[in-house]
């Protein structure tokens, strides 16, 4: 192993970390699993699995309003989870963190509630070329419904957000900027704080899509000063089916409900219903109680690992993998920004990404192939999609070598 005694290795004991993730000990097609699809969904540590188990064995009940013991247990655990989320992203108050199904639902909540209440025909929303479909389609639905106009920030050939072009898009009609902090397809880390500052100079609120950033970077929503921030639990080593919408309290409090039902009401009569304040107003019906609790455990796992160690290891994996992949003839990397997370998208001359993915799979190597829910981004590069290897803190240098060997096989078979 290279760099065995480097500071990176000292910060993170990868073998010990790997033992925390049961699925990483498993085999696929008789080969040890090499999981390089973390940008799509990350694996879960034993502590998260145990927490879900304990919740259902010892604490399961519906939350809020219950006078009995279990209901109160579950309510406390659920509300404690909200506090953990708030601490993790440094929200000013837990009530600014709304539990949703995922990042997608969080964007839809803002589009439906804030969008319908605040936008009219001709108003403009700024997004970027590298957005995930989750941060494109909800705004297009609003465009079709209300007649708002979507403007798109271009990117450079290296996959970087063009700040000057962004600035130039603002007009008196701009009402929202909805932008990703990190691109799931290119790995680009965008200058989120600058992007927010520029919008705020024009009096325009900003929604940051943090679905990819949250698993790689420390997030401080107060420092970013973003108005909304969205992410999913499953990319942050937590359960599926749970996500978060952060919003500044005054903005959220002024927004009408998104869905109606139980838990979000103050008083209901057949004539008139009044709604509760935040966060309950936006959590109609029985929420994903265990999901929220499991997410909090995942966050605690990341906190205990520490971002410094995580980032040092991931960045060294990124550099080594980039160098080794570039030695493969005919391989081209898309997304070569100076600031990147450990996501590498690439194509190989004359080889369809899906075919490469299938051959790698036979060796137990999981990569993603296709458009990665960013079709307009690939149109920008004149492509249908790519092969994407995305690394988490539990990936190793040996796995990079296995990927490179696997790609050699792909070339021999298809090239």
Closest Cα partner for 291 from 63, 65, 51? 51
Residue list 289-348, contact with ligand PLP (CB under 6 A) = none
* Contact window for ligand PLP (CB under 6 A) among 24-32, 100-108, 136-144, 248-256: 100-108
Of 302 and 407, CB closest to ligand PLP: 302
CA 211 vs. chain centroid, Å, equals: 1
Residue 295 Cβ, how far from ligand PLP at the closest point, in Å?
12
Helix (H), strand (E), coil (C) string for the chain: CCCCCCHHHHHCCHHHHHHCCHHHHCEECCEECEECECCCCCCCCHHHHHHHHHHHHHHCCCCCCCCCHHHHHHHHHHHHHHHHHHHHHCCCCHHHEEEECCHHHHHHHHHHHHHHHHCCCCCEEEEECCCCHHHCHHHHHHHHHHCCEEEEECECCCCCECHHHHHHHCCCCEEEEEEECECCCCCEECCHHHHHHHHHHCCCCEEEECCCHHHCCCCCHHHHCCCEEEEECHHHCCCCCCEEEEECHHHHHCCCCCCCCCCCEEEECCCCEEECCCCHHHCCCCCCHHHHHHHHHHHHHHHHHCHHHHHHHHHHHHHHHHHHHHCCCCEEEECCCCCECCEEEEEECCECHHHHHHHHHHCCEECEEECCCCHHHHHHCCCCCEEEEECCCCCCHHHHHHHHHHHHHHHHHHC
* Contact window for ligand PLP (CB under 6 A) among 128-136, 166-174, 193-201, 273-281: 128-136
Residue list 229-248, contact with ligand PLP (CB under 6 A) = 232, 235
Among 51, 95, 132, 216, binds ligand PLP (CB under 6 A): 132
Per rule CB under 6 A, is residue 128 in the interface with ligand PLP? no
Residue list 171-200, contact with ligand PLP (CB under 6 A) = 180, 184
**Site residue total, ligand PLP (CB under 6 A):** 13
Active site residue 373: yes
Residue 133 Cβ, how far from ligand PLP at the closest point, in Å?
8
End-to-end CA distance of the chain: 30
Residue 256 Cβ, how far from ligand PLP at the closest point, in Å?
23
Rounded CA-CA distance 281/259 in Å is 9
Per rule CB under 6 A, is residue 37 in the interface with ligand PLP? no
Residue list 211-230, contact with ligand PLP (CB under 6 A) = 211-212
Per rule CB under 6 A, is residue 104 in the interface with ligand PLP? yes
Residue 241 Cβ, how far from ligand PLP at the closest point, in Å?
9
Among 24, 63, 103, 244, binds ligand PLP (CB under 6 A): 103
Residue 366 Cβ, how far from ligand PLP at the closest point, in Å?
16
Of 129 and 135, CB closest to ligand PLP: 135
Per rule CB under 6 A, is residue 123 in the interface with ligand PLP? no
Q: Spell out the residues 6+ positions from residue 159 whose beta carbon is closer than 8 angstroms to its own.
A: 130, 183, 186, 187, 188, 334, 335, 336, 337
Query: Which sign does the torsion angle of CA 224, 210, 55, 16 carry?
Result: negative
Report the DSSP pairing between strands 365-366 and 34-35: parallel
Per rule CB under 6 A, is residue 411 in the interface with ligand PLP? no
Among 59, 102, 297, 345, binds ligand PLP (CB under 6 A): 102
Residue list 142-161, contact with ligand PLP (CB under 6 A) = none
Residue 104 Cβ, how far from ligand PLP at the closest point, in Å?
3
Q: Spell out the residues 6+ positions from residue 41 whose beta carbon is closer than 8 angstroms to its own.
A: 234, 235, 240
* Contact window for ligand PLP (CB under 6 A) among 163-171, 208-216, 338-346, 384-392: 208-216
Among 134, 331, 367, 400, binds ligand PLP (CB under 6 A): 134
* Contact window for ligand PLP (CB under 6 A) among 16-24, 132-140, 285-293, 361-369: 132-140
Per rule CB under 6 A, is residue 209 in the interface with ligand PLP? yes
Residue 214 Cβ, how far from ligand PLP at the closest point, in Å?
9
Of 372 and 397, CB closest to ligand PLP: 372
Of 182 and 348, CB closest to ligand PLP: 182
Residue 69 Cβ, how far from ligand PLP at the closest point, in Å?
34
Residue list 345-364, contact with ligand PLP (CB under 6 A) = none
Site residues for ligand PLP per CB under 6 A: 102-104, 132, 134-135, 180, 184, 209, 211-212, 232, 235
Residues catalogued as catalytic? 373
């Amino acid at each position: 192993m290279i760099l065995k005694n480097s500071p990176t290795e000292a910060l993170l004991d990868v073998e010990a970390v790997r033992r925390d993730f049961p699925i990483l000990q498993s085999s696929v097609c008789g080969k040890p699993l090499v999981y390089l699809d973390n940008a799509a969904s990350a694996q879960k540590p034993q502590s998260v699995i145990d927490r879900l188990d304990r919740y259902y064995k010892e604490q399961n009940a519906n939350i809020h309003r219950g006078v009995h013991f279990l209901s109160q247990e579950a309510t406390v655990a659920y509300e404690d989870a909200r506090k953990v989320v708030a601490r993790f992203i440094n929200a000013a108050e837990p009530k600014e963190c709304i539990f949703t199904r995922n990042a997608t639902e969080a964007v839809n909540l803002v589009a439906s509630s804030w969008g319908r209440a605040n936008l009219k025909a001709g108003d403009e929303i700024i997004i970027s070329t590298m957005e995930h479909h989750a941060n494109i389609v909800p705004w297009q639905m609003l465009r079709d419904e209300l007649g708002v106009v979507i403007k798109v920030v271009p990117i450079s050939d290296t996959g970087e957000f063009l700040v000057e072009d962004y600035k130039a898009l603002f007009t008196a009609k701009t009402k929202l900027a909805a932008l990703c902090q990190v691109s799931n397809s290119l790995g680009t880390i965008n200058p989120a704080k600058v992007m927010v500052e520029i919008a705020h100079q024009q009096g325009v609120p900003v929604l940051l899509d943090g679905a990819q950033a949250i698993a790689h970077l420390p997030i401080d929503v107060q420092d970013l000063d973003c108005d909304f921030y969205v992410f999913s639990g499953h990319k942050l080593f937590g359960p599926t089916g749970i996500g978060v919408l952060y919003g500044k309290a005054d903005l959220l409090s002024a927004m009408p409900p998104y869905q109606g039902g139980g838990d979000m009401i103050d008083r209901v009569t057949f004539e008139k219903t009044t709604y509760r304040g935040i966060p309950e107003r936006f959590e109609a019906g029985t929420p994903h109680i265990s999901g929220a609790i499991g997410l909090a455990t995942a966050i605690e796992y990341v906190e205990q690992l520490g971002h410094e160690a995580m980032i040092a290891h991931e960045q060294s994996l990124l550099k080594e993998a980039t160098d080794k992949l570039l030695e493969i003839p005919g391989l081209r990397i898309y997304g070569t920004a100076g600031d990147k997370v450990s996501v590498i998208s690439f194509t190989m001359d004359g080889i369809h990404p899906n075919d490469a993915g299938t051959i790698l799979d036979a060796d137990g190597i999981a990569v993603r192939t296709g458009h990665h829910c960013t079709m307009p981004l690939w149109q920008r590069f004149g492509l249908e999609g790519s092969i994407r290897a995305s690394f988490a803190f539990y990936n190793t240098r040996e796995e990079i070598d296995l990927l490179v060997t696997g790609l050699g096989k792909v070339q021999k078979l298809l090239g």
